[in-house]
Structure 1
């Protein structure tokens, strides 16, 4: 039962070109400790708890609990190598979590404060499985579930390099849900002019079309498009424009007045330091490279 093998190779260019061989962690706990200590940077998830007990009746311990950028509860399960049981184990805990919402919200309140706890989004709880590898059967299995699941392969390189690769990412939504949404329930279907509705639908199609692993999360004030992490947040149309926030370093792009703006440190809905203002379908075409930059970095 072979894994889904990556062809990525890493080379050191210090004094010639030497391949840096990938390796697995010696122990599963080593992977867990590394991710938990850097969870927001690596997964876009705020850390809440480690080895969280589900009680004597349920009889289990969740490897990691967290809250993502959009307020969705997150369970993270780890395996050192390949283990076909990691998905079912995670789903088992996800079921427990849905039955213990008040307990999770208390945990979020204790660790992150009342505001974070009040904004927990229960419509899209997530399971992230971090393992040395996954089989093609694992990838097929997650696509059959009506849950948001990410399969993330890790590799260690040398003494201080970590590689993460998203093998599969599903939102748990059925194709019927997506078709209905595209007919007018997206980020432009609420009483705005026809031109803005069409503009919002064009942005939606563009962002979803960047790759197979793109999912979305709908919040009251924005819609987040994500792979493992958010890469774009689209706010409801204003009178004449649509605002999109991207995970792109504003210093790396030409900031054209009226089109792209640095909002680092400025409060706004959603996540991202680059604000893109869209008024026409031509603006959407102009923004394609920026969309792809943000997608690639997610």
Structure 2
């Protein structure tokens, strides 16, 4: 058995879990944390948020949620450095709205010149971490968002 497999087996045994249950907890699979955070969203928006959340977690195994009253932040495991400095290692914020899916990213606003539904927030008050807001109104919008920002969303950037 590999060192990783042995570690997983031992950690699961210590926690009184199966290895699958421990991995599900680490990967936030059906743990209810995110579902509770988006409970006030209407059904179509909640479905979009769940889809985006899954895509973000796939790209960032072991991420951490940072729960705030106005947004859910996504923080990568480890000591990745944010262009925002010590304040945060949040690489994406999902703003809590009941009827629209809005994400905020700490990326260079110059990058979004040709991206639909994206807005430069420099100098404007807003919730979330970063200076770029992207509105996601449909599954194709999420797919386009993932295509435009995949390099930013994948762990290890």
Q: Partner residue of 2:94?
A: 234
- Size of the aligned set, in residue pairs, is 129
**Residues 1-298 of structure 1: matches in 2 within 5 Å?**
140=7, 144=11, 174=25, 178-181=29-32, 184-186=35-37, 188-190=38-40, 192-227=41-76, 228=80, 229-239=89-99, 241-257=100-116, 259-296=117-154
**Could you report, residue by residue, the CA deviation over 1:158-192 in whole angstroms, capped at 9, with x for unpaired residues?**
xxxxxxxxxxxxxxx93596413278324x322x3
* Cα distance change, pair 295–260 in 1 and its aligned pair in 2 (3 A): same
Normalized per residue, which structure has more helix? Answer: 2
**Could you report, residue by residue, the CA deviation over 1:62-109 in whole angstroms, capped at 9, with x for unpaired residues?**
xxxxxxxxxxxxxxxxxxxxxxxxxxxxxxxxxxxxxxxxxxxxxxxx
Is the CA contact (8 Å cut-off) linking 1:255 and 1:261 kept in structure 2? Answer: no
Alpha-carbon shift at residue 207 of structure 1 (Å): 1.1
* Cα distance change, pair 255–273 in 1 and its aligned pair in 2 (3 A): farther
* Cα distance change, pair 182–291 in 1 and its aligned pair in 2 (3 A): farther
Larger RCO, structure (CA 8 Å, separation 6 or more): 2
Normalized per residue, which structure has more strand? Answer: 1
SS of the residue 2:31 aligns to: helix
Alpha-carbon shift at residue 204 of structure 1 (Å): 0.9
Is the CA contact (8 Å cut-off) linking 2:108 and 2:132 kept in structure 1? Answer: yes
Structure 2: segments with no counterpart, 5+ residues: 13-23, 81-88
Structure 1: segments with no counterpart, 5+ residues: 1-135, 146-172
TM (normalized to structure 1)?
0.38
* Cα distance change, pair 251–295 in 1 and its aligned pair in 2 (3 A): same
Q: Partner residue of 2:15?
A: none
Structure 1's consecutive aligned runs of 4 or more residues displaced over 6 angstroms after TM superposition are none
Is the CA contact (8 Å cut-off) linking 2:27 and 2:62 kept in structure 1? Answer: no
The separation in 1 between residues aligned to 2:93 and 2:54, in whole angstroms, is 14
SS of the residue 1:224 aligns to: strand
- Higher Cα Rg: structure 1 or 2? 1
Alpha-carbon shift at residue 292 of structure 1 (Å): 2.1
Is the CA contact (8 Å cut-off) linking 2:65 and 2:75 kept in structure 1? Answer: yes
